[in-house]
Chain A
Amino acid sequence: MTRLRITGMTAALALAGALAGGAALAQDIAVGHLADQSGPTSDVGVPYGQGVADALAYINSKGGIAGKKLAVETVDYGYQVPRAVAQYKKWSEGTKVAAIQGWGTADTEAMIGFVTKDQIPYLSASYSAALTDPGGKSGRTKAAPYNFFYGPSYSDAVRALLIWAAEDWKAKGGTGKPKFVHMGANHPYPNSPKEAGEAMAKELGFDIIPPVQFAMTPGDYTSQCLTIKDAGANYAYLANTAGSNISVLKACKTAGVNVQFMGNVWGMDENAAKAAGDAANGVVFPMRTGIAWNGEAPGKATLAAISKLSSGGADVYRPVHYLTGVCSAYYMAEAMDWAAKNGGVTGPNVQQGMYQKKDWVPAGMEGVCLPSSWSAEDHRGLMSVNIYRMNVGGATEAPVADLVKNGTIKLEKVKTVELERKADRLGW
């Protein structure tokens, strides 16, 4: 699956190689960057990690944070929790990092206790709702005061998709109760929004079909497709990342399953659409940024300059995850900026930096990142969910850039769901 993203990977690996072992100078601001470039989620981990790395390198090229350079150490942990924890321990002892750009749900959730104790802000690419409760008041999860992420939580994304699905069912003139099924691996990441999604589906009048499992890696998932076909599912939520979702979409297309698939934020992108071809046509998914790569926004010029850092100056097409990685890095950088002006770039100061503004977009990323707000009581940054439909019209042999340009692959916005910031939904 990663073969398609060889260009992104080339740069990512070269960068990782160059940064590995590069000790941070004392006056620099040490930042840890944990990425999955070789594990089961590397299909989306590579572009995201590249976005983070490029954005931080760009910030350095513009003078860094208050005159200090960011000493970023990018480490590929292969989506293995033990490797992530071992790496974290290196970063937290001795010269402590000021913040970490993380990745997966299993490792991020495992380290909630560590980062809280060590007071290291941790911006993950996991949007698990278990990371949204800084005070632990909900009683559902541990307090996670140092965990942040940019985007709607997995649970909120499912809720929004279900709200859309309920309307879609009516609009299509469906009769009776629509049936909803959660599909994903037995892993903390796909499991994260399962309960919240099923509770919401029940509330909206869906019938719930028992969840169907499929692994995080590509494989033959025909039997899973036949299961949901037999059960008569109408709406299926794909909780894995794009790589394995492609397998499901293709298998279900072959098996003639007539289901509306709804992807997780990591479950669909331009590369996946190319790989899945017409099987990906019609899949809806939440998009976290204001634009895709070909969109226009005030921040697009900066974004293009960032991208050129790793493309060798060429104008390459970047999937949605790249943009999200840039946003995550920029939110952290702006919080660090505030911290530098208010007592120095330490963990607690960077945390406070995240709380300073409401509905804010980091400077330079206007129109790219969506306005988010974090507070000491609530780390659900983004409550409005933009739902897009993936339209694939025709053969997808050409490079992604051409497919998007000629409209074969089109991301069409179908709805923006504004979710209420309900207290009883904090932490799950």
Chain B
Amino acid sequence: MATHSLIPAGEYKTSYAADTTIFPTVTSRNAAILALILVACAPLVFDRYILSLMIQIGYLSIAALGLNILVGFTGQISIGHAAFFGFGAFSSAWLNNVHGIPVFFAIPLAGLMTTAAGLIFGLPAARLKGLYLAIATLAAQYILQDFFARASWFSGGVAGTVAYPFSIFGYAFDTDARYFYVVLSYMVLCFVLATNLMRSRDGRALVAVRDHYLSAEMMGINLTKYRTLSFGISAFFAGIGGALYAHYLQFVSVEGFTILFSIQFLGMIIIGGLGSIMGTILGTIFMVLLPEAMEWLTSSLAGGAIDRALSLKNNISYLREMAIGAVIVLFLMFEPDGLAHRWKQIKAYWKLYPFAH
């Protein structure tokens, strides 16, 4: 489950460095670099629609990564992640609009502001577990949401606030093709950061808290510190993701950050694979593309033979919502370890091809 890749028998490590390496082989490292280069070429090939989906995947996966650190790695629970996402979005807009801090700096600063908020709302985690903690984070969701709606000085109140495009030296990243690179850079940065965090002492401490908190405490891990810290780290990534969202859409309003959105984040990491960095990306891709695929499916169904035979008509658009729910249920039943697990199996299959038995 952890970051360590499962190399089949036959490889023996002789150092801790080899054990915690990100890329077990040169080929896997080269493949990752190649994939990154290919993704960076996307704006040259794809149209606006696909780019906008990729940008969405980018900022959402950064926020989902934060939640995965909290839920998948530390074993806590949060159903208020969207509120932190929103806090980051409003903070970045606020820093830029009110304090005149360039967007370039406002985004990381918004991440830090959200970290502070996360640490405060993470305090109950020091004492609460399980369902009780879930309800405590629900409070964070509602408190922050109400705060956004009322704090006009910060968020513009119910009317929302404008967020100006990202720019460096007067060059504005205000089109999808340009902003794509901003999100991509942040995504690489955040995922490398998270991967490395999980290889450090602190990262291992988080995993220990998840696996057996009593043993962890006996080994000298400060539970209160790491549980709260986990909320802080989680909020940091949510804040960065939110800030990127704000400057992409160029407008932030309170209604976007509901509890449904929080649940969606949970869906992403559960489908992708709890405790898997790679799974976070896969889960986000899945959750972003699923409604689009369903939309495509239902619109191609509309007016067709099946539509007429079953007289679906206007129910087709509801079919979409239902199908999304059904797919999630099926996923949890047949792929409980998430997409990350499936990804590993596919890799293993091709590694042995054609000699799989």
Asked if B175 lies at the interface with its beta carbon under 8 angstroms from chain A, I say yes
Asked if A364 lies at the interface with its beta carbon under 8 angstroms from chain B, I say no
Q: Mark B294-308, 1 if CB is under 8 A from A, else 0.
A: 010011001100000
Q: Mark B306-334, 1 if CB is under 8 A from A, else 0.
A: 00000001101100000000000000000
- Once A14-B302, A17-B316 are accepted as A-B contacts, the answer to whether A81 and B256 lie under 8 Å apart by CB is yes
Q: How many residues of B contact A (CB 8 A)?
A: 25
Residue of A nearest to B254 (CB): A81
Q: Tell me the complex Cα distance, A279–B160, Å.
A: 35
Q: How far is the CB of B172 from chain A (nearest CB, A)?
A: 12
Residues of B near A188 (CB, < 8 A) are 158-159
Of the listed stretches B19-27, B68-76, B245-253, chain A binds B245-253
The answer on a CB contact under 8 Å between A110 and B251 is yes
Residues of B near A187 (CB, < 8 A) are 158
The answer on a CB contact under 8 Å between B251 and A21 is no
Asked if A257 lies at the interface with its beta carbon under 8 angstroms from chain B, I say no
Asked if A9 lies at the interface with its beta carbon under 8 angstroms from chain B, I say yes
The answer on a CB contact under 8 Å between B295 and A93 is no
Q: How far is the CB of A314 from chain B (nearest CB, A)?
A: 16
Q: In chain B, residues 228-265, which have Cβ atoms closer than 8 Å to a Cβ of chain A?
A: 249-251, 253, 255-256
Q: How far is the CB of A260 from chain B (nearest CB, A)?
A: 28
The answer on a CB contact under 8 Å between A14 and B314 is yes
Q: How far is the CB of B164 from chain A (nearest CB, A)?
A: 10
Q: In chain A, residues 79-116, which have Cβ atoms closer than 8 Å to a Cβ of chain B?
A: 80-82, 85-86, 89-90, 93-94, 106, 109-111, 113-114
In the complex, which of the residues B48, B162, B253, B303 has the most CB atoms of chain A within 10 Å of its own CB atom? B253
The answer on a CB contact under 8 Å between A93 and B160 is no
A13, A106, A113, A191: which contacts B253 (Cβ < 8 A)? A106
The answer on a CB contact under 8 Å between B255 and A82 is yes
Q: Tell me the complex Cα distance, A80–B260, Å.
A: 14
Residues of A near B162 (CB, < 8 A) are 110, 113
Residues of B near A109 (CB, < 8 A) are 159
In the complex, which of the residues B175, B250, B255 has the most CB atoms of chain A within 10 Å of its own CB atom? B255
Residues of B near A305 (CB, < 8 A) are none
The answer on a CB contact under 8 Å between A85 and B314 is no
A13, A80, A110: which contacts B159 (Cβ < 8 A)? A110
User: Main SS of the interface on chain B?
Assistant: helix
Asked if A18 lies at the interface with its beta carbon under 8 angstroms from chain B, I say yes
- Once A106-B159, A113-B162 are accepted as A-B contacts, the answer to whether A18 and B256 lie under 8 Å apart by CB is no
Residue of B nearest to A191 (CB): B158
Residues of B near A17 (CB, < 8 A) are 298-299, 302-303, 316-317
Q: How far is the CB of B83 from chain A (nearest CB, A)?
A: 15
Residues of B near A16 (CB, < 8 A) are 317
Q: How far is the CB of A422 from chain B (nearest CB, A)?
A: 25
- Once A14-B314, A110-B159, A110-B160 are accepted as A-B contacts, the answer to whether A82 and B48 lie under 8 Å apart by CB is no
The answer on a CB contact under 8 Å between A82 and B299 is no
Asked if A416 lies at the interface with its beta carbon under 8 angstroms from chain B, I say no
Residue of B nearest to A192 (CB): B159
The answer on a CB contact under 8 Å between A94 and B48 is yes
Q: How far is the CB of B320 from chain A (nearest CB, A)?
A: 10
Q: Tell me the complex Cα distance, A89–B159, Å.
A: 19
Q: How far is the CB of A161 from chain B (nearest CB, A)?
A: 23
Residues of A near B250 (CB, < 8 A) are 85, 114
In the complex, which of the residues B149, B160, B176 has the most CB atoms of chain A within 10 Å of its own CB atom? B160
Residues of B near A93 (CB, < 8 A) are 48, 175-176
Residues of A near B160 (CB, < 8 A) are 81, 106, 110
Q: How far is the CB of A311 from chain B (nearest CB, A)?
A: 14
- Once A93-B48, A109-B159 are accepted as A-B contacts, the answer to whether A86 and B314 lie under 8 Å apart by CB is no
Q: Tell me the complex Cα distance, A191–B251, Å.
A: 20
- Once A14-B302, A17-B316, A21-B299 are accepted as A-B contacts, the answer to whether A186 and B149 lie under 8 Å apart by CB is yes
Residues of B near A223 (CB, < 8 A) are none
- Once A13-B314, A17-B316, A18-B303 are accepted as A-B contacts, the answer to whether A85 and B249 lie under 8 Å apart by CB is yes
Asked if A10 lies at the interface with its beta carbon under 8 angstroms from chain B, I say yes
In the complex, which of the residues A82, A93, A191 has the most CB atoms of chain B within 10 Å of its own CB atom? A82
Q: In chain A, residues 241-279, which have Cβ atoms closer than 8 Å to a Cβ of chain B?
A: none
The answer on a CB contact under 8 Å between A13 and B158 is no
Residues of A near B295 (CB, < 8 A) are 20
Residues of A near B158 (CB, < 8 A) are 106, 186-188, 191
Residues of B near A106 (CB, < 8 A) are 158-160, 253, 255
Q: Tell me the complex Cα distance, A81–B313, Å.
A: 28
Residue of B nearest to A40 (CB): B255
Residues of A near B255 (CB, < 8 A) are 80-82, 106
Residue of B nearest to A83 (CB): B256
Residue of B nearest to A109 (CB): B159
Q: How far is the CB of A124 from chain B (nearest CB, A)?
A: 15
The answer on a CB contact under 8 Å between B253 and A82 is yes
The answer on a CB contact under 8 Å between B175 and A82 is no
Q: Tell me the complex Cα distance, A80–B158, Å.
A: 12
Q: How far is the CB of A92 from chain B (nearest CB, A)?
A: 11
Q: Tell me the complex Cα distance, A14–B250, Å.
A: 32
The answer on a CB contact under 8 Å between B256 and A80 is yes
Q: In chain B, residues 133-186, which have Cβ atoms closer than 8 Å to a Cβ of chain A?
A: 149, 158-160, 162, 175-176
Residues of B near A90 (CB, < 8 A) are 48-49, 52
Q: Tell me the complex Cα distance, A111–B253, Å.
A: 12
Q: Tell me the complex Cα distance, A86–B52, Å.
A: 9
Q: Tell me the complex Cα distance, A14–B49, Å.
A: 23
Q: Tell me the complex Cα distance, A198–B255, Å.
A: 27
Q: Tell me the complex Cα distance, A324–B232, Å.
A: 51
Residues of A near B48 (CB, < 8 A) are 90, 93-94
Residue of A nearest to B252 (CB): A82
Q: Tell me the complex Cα distance, A187–B158, Å.
A: 6
The answer on a CB contact under 8 Å between B253 and A9 is no
Q: A82-B251, A90-B48, A110-B251 are in contact. List 17 more A-B contacts (CB 8 A).
A: A10-B313, A13-B317, A20-B295, A21-B299, A82-B249, A82-B256, A86-B52, A86-B249, A89-B249, A93-B176, A106-B160, A110-B159, A110-B253, A111-B251, A186-B149, A186-B158, A188-B158
Give me 26 A-to-B residue pairs in the complex whose CB atoms sit less than 8 angstroms apart, sorted by A's number: A10-B313, A13-B313, A14-B314, A16-B317, A17-B302, A17-B303, A17-B316, A20-B299, A80-B255, A80-B256, A81-B160, A81-B253, A81-B255, A82-B249, A82-B253, A85-B249, A85-B250, A90-B48, A94-B48, A106-B158, A106-B160, A106-B255, A109-B159, A114-B250, A188-B158, A188-B159
**A residues adjacent to B (C-beta < 8 A):** 9-10, 13-14, 16-18, 20-21, 80-82, 85-86, 89-90, 93-94, 106, 109-111, 113-114, 186-188, 191
5 shortest A-B CB distances, which residue pairs? Answer: A81-B253, A13-B314, A82-B256, A17-B302, A10-B314
